[in-house]
Amino acid sequence: MTGATASFGRRADVGGALASLGGIIRSILAFVVVVLLIAIVWEAAKWLGGGIWREAFGIVLDPPHMPPLRITQLNDTNLPHVWEVVGALFEPATRRSEFSLFAVLLDAALFTWRGAAIGFALGAAIGLGLAILFVHSRLLERALVPYVIASQTIPIIALAPMVVLWVGRDWPSVAIISAYLTFFPVTIAGIRGLKSPDPRALELMRSYAADWKSVLWKVRLPAALPYLFTALKISATASIVGAIVAEAPTGIAGGLGRAIIQFNQQFTSGPEKLWATAFICAALGIAFFGLVRLAEMIVLRNRQREVEA
Amino acid sequence: MSGTNSVVAIRDLGKTFGNEGSQTVALSGINLTIQPGEFVSLIGPSGCGKSTLLRIIGDLTGPTTGTVEVNGKPAARARTDRDYGMVFQAPVLFDWRTIEANVALPLEIIDMPRARRVQRIAEMLSLVELSDFARHHPWQLSGGMQQRAAIARALAFEPRLLLMDEPFGALDEMTRERMNTELLRIWEQTGTTIVFVTHSIPEAVFLSSRVVVMSARPGRITKVIEVGLPRPRSDETRELEPYFELITEVRESLKAGGHGSDAGTIADEPLEALQ
């Protein structure tokens, strides 16, 4: 009988893995459906209130479709057709460029991601370090947490030029600014998570005469992991936004921030390039989020029903 | 009065909670000596301080007055020497560890070599009959099995004293009776001294060599009843005439102590924040 129950447990593990795989596939499908829905609403709006449709998906419309309404926000400059935005990705980035816009943006995305990922790692480490410090010292927590909160009220736009001035016009500046945006959620969630163990679990450790390092390593940190992952998912997207915002006003070349500035200036002649850049920025944020989510699923695979966030 | 080889020696112990403004006397004038190999139950109404007394023996909180010696040492010293194991009402197993890893936790903390650790875990799991569930996670097990794992963990480093705070309080009656029988088997196999806090009169009588009856506000010992029921005890013990007589005796003592009912009493002793 016990044997049967034991194998039941193993089957439950396999079932759990399959269920989480199914979960991933379902999320991806849901994401694709939503993207398609947005594209449909987008084009429907243009059909009703955009510019004259001379073609759709490369097929010439004869006679052209005349939308019944004329809405400025929906004309072909302000809101290009979806296929024009997608098409722009596969055309040369500039008239004389030998690379497609997609290749150029992918390159920029990787540059930005390097700064963001290093900043993310740095910020997560600092954030967790502060949380550990605060959980062990009530005095430091009271003294420093207000400053940690105040730090987040300084606009990045004000901070970025100063950092670039000190550190230089390259990716280390981007990383520092990303870290600045990343550490905060990790600190706040970390304090909460490190304090989350059952008081009796801490008494149990006390009864073993465990030192604070054992308590931290064997009880507090494992208990804090679900909280930390929630914060890291927020931080992952924040680090990308932080990196782009750091690059844009300071003229750091090579990243998506610079690409946004450049295509902003060319908006009237080629609005689809800026739109395409915006989509690549979003895709980068989503990809980084997905990476952290994947790590979460692997690390927390043996936990019972964790709160999804 | 207390032999030098007693496992627990409590003298004139008192415990007061609260600050100068509002004080609650939780325990007062407690004297108790427990000899090696004894199974002593503390029974009493909610708020009588029986859990507090257990926590003071385990140095999870300190007494206000009086002294506690465990194995001839102050309680704090006994704790740092890892002289006792602790089992709470909730199993307090760690979700992220398998059952064997949960049992391994105290052994990791005392830095037991890996090979010896593996052997010890196997022994402990076989003692509580959970060998087939070593690789399971706590949430895959029933409440009774989780509590057995908690007992295995508490016994892992062979403590001379096992402190149990209503360990079967959350289990249904059937499971509780089975766990009682198992606990006696484990106690007889290991020879560990056990101090056991409970609300249940039949449980106290069935398990103990002595039942310590307490009354509430202030918590004090009103009577100590010797339980001379033959061992090993089994389900048949529960049908013996002396068993019922002892149950009646404990019940009468609880009534004589006042506050016989749990109704309307405040929640149990406050947990002192450890953070």
The verdict on a CB contact (< 8 Å) between B90 and A200 is yes
Which residues of chain A have a CB within 8 Å of the CB of B82? Answer: 208-209
The answer to whether the CB atoms of B109 and A210 lie below 8 A apart is yes
Backbone angles phi, psi at B46, to 5 degrees: -55, 140
Contact B96 A205 (CB under 8 A): no
pLDDT band per the 50, 70, 90 thresholds, residue B140? very high
Is there a contact between B109 and A205 if contact means CB atoms under 8 Å apart? yes
Chain B, nearest residue to A299 by Cα: B96
Q: In what order do the strands lie in the sheet with B24-34?
A: B24-34, B8-17, B65-70, B73-74
Q: Which position has the token pair 């909730």?
A: B90
Per-residue pLDDT tens digits for B220-259: 999 999 999 998 899 899 999 999 999 999 999 998 876 5
Q: B58-112, pLDDT tens digit by residue? A: 999 999 999 999 999 999 999 999 999 999 999 999 999 999 999 999 999 999 9
State the DSSP string of A192-240. Answer: HHHT-S-HHHHHHHHHTT--HHHHIIIIIHHHHHHHHHHHHHHHHHHHH
Decide if pLDDT at B187 tops 50.
Answer: yes
Q: For residue B170, what pLDDT band results from cuts at 50, 70 and 90? A: confident
Alpha helices, DSSP H only, in chain B? 50-57, 75-80, 99-109, 114-127, 143-155, 173-190, 201-207, 241-256
* Cβ–Cβ contact B106 with A under 8 A: yes
From the list B58, B95, B136, the residue facing A303 with the nearest CB is: B95
| Segment among A74-88, A217-231, B1-15, B138-152 with least mean pLDDT | B1-15
Counting Cβ atoms within 10 Å, is residue A269 exposed (0-12), middle (13-18) or buried (19+)?
exposed
> Which chain A residues are closer than 8 Å to B132 by Cβ?
2-3, 5-6
Residue A50: per-residue pLDDT: 87
Instruction: Tell me the pLDDT band of B267, cut-offs 50, 70 and 90.
Output: very low
In this complex, do B133 and A9 lie within 8 Å of one another by their Cβ atoms? yes
B4 pLDDT band, cuts 50/70/90, is low
ipTM for the assembly: 0.85
Q: Do B94 and A219 touch (CB under 8 A)?
A: yes
CB A200 within 8 A of CB A261: no
Contact call for A6 and B60, based on CB within 8 A:
no
Return the number of other C-beta atoms located less than 10 Å from residue B266's C-beta.
11
CA gap A14, A6 in Å, rounded: 13
Split at pLDDT 50, 70, 90, the class of B127 is: confident
Which residue, among B193, B219, B208, B195, has the nearest Cα to B246 in the 3D structure? B208
Q: What is the dihedral of CA B181, A208, B117, A2, to 10 degrees?
A: 30
CA–CA distance, B143 with A49 (Å, rounded to integer): 64
DSSP state of B64: S
d(C-alpha B184, C-alpha A265), whole Å: 83
Question: Which whole number is the average pLDDT over B34-61?
Answer: 94
Partner residue facing B82 (CB), from A135, A209, A219: A209
Over 60: is that where the pLDDT of B18 sits? yes
Q: Is the pLDDT confidence value at B268 over 80?
A: no
A219 in Cβ contact with A136 (< 8 Å): no
> Which pair of tokens denotes residue A88?
């722009």
Q: pLDDT value at position A96?
A: 80
- Spans of chain A below 70 pLDDT: 1-17, 305-309
- C-alpha–C-alpha distance, residues A121 and B232, integer Å: 61
**H or E element in which residue B68 lies:** strand B65-70
CA distance A294 to chain B (A): 18
Residues of A in contact with B104 (CB under 8 A): none
- Grouping H, G, I as helix, E, B as strand and the rest as coil, residue A268 is coil
Better-predicted residue by pLDDT, B158 or B67: B67
Residue-averaged pLDDT of chain B: 88
pTM assigned to the model: 0.83
Q: Is the pLDDT of residue B269 over 80?
A: no
Closest of B207, B166, B157, B172 to residue B187, by C-alpha: B207
Asked if A199 and B273 come within 8 Å (Cβ–Cβ), the reply is: yes
DSSP letter (8 states) at residue B270? P
Calculate Rg over the CA atoms of chain A: 25
Residue indicated by tokens 């895709």 = A283
**The predicted structure's pLDDT at residue A15:** 64
Beta bridge partner(s), residue B85: B162
pLDDT higher for B19 or B72?
B72
> Widest CA span of chain B, in angstroms?
55
